[in-house]
Amino acid sequence: MHEMALCEGIRNTVEQVAATHGATAVSLVRLEIGRFAGVEKPALEFAWEVVMRGSVAEGATLVMIDLPGKAMCYDCAREVELSARLDPCPECGGGRLLPTGGDEMRIRDMEVT
């Protein structure tokens, strides 16, 4: 379950940001997660509860924001959204696509006190 490792990285970042800003608690963290990031959301929610224990983010709400999968189609020269990584272009049906987004995961923002 790599979601535990992801949450440990998030915890480190959240604690660093909170310390930098003199915050004593984090009440909410918003994550942007791309469609192709390979993150299992139920597993991430479980890992969140476990990993955040004893940190400034213990009890914080985790909000996951979905980002679409995107690719540049070489056949019609359009950037398109994809449901699955190997789908053909929804505009022209072409199969020559360069992924341009959807594999990212980042902290969008957080609320602190």
What the block records as the tokens of 6 is 């992801």
Instruction: Give the mean pLDDT of the chain.
Output: 96
CATH of the domain at 6: 3.30.2320.80
CA distances from 73 to 29, 67, 76, 104 (A): 34, 19, 6, 20
Domain that holds residue 72: 2-112
Region for 58 from its dihedrals, namely left if φ exceeds 0, alpha if ψ lies in -120 to 50, beta otherwise: beta
Alpha helix (H) ranges present in the chain?
Answer: 2-20, 41-51
**Predicted confidence (pLDDT) per residue in 10-43, tens digit:** 999 999 999 999 999 999 999 999 999 999 999 9
According to the model, what pLDDT value does residue 1 have?
Answer: 53
> Taking a C-beta distance cutoff of 8 angstroms, is the pair 112, 25 a contact?
yes
According to the model, what pLDDT value does residue 91 have?
Answer: 96
As for how many domains the chain has, the answer is 1
**Predicted confidence (pLDDT) per residue in 94-109, tens digit:** 999 999 999 999 999 9
What the block records as the tokens of 22 is 């003199």
What the block records as the tokens of 86 is 């190997």
What average pLDDT does the segment 74-97 reach? 96
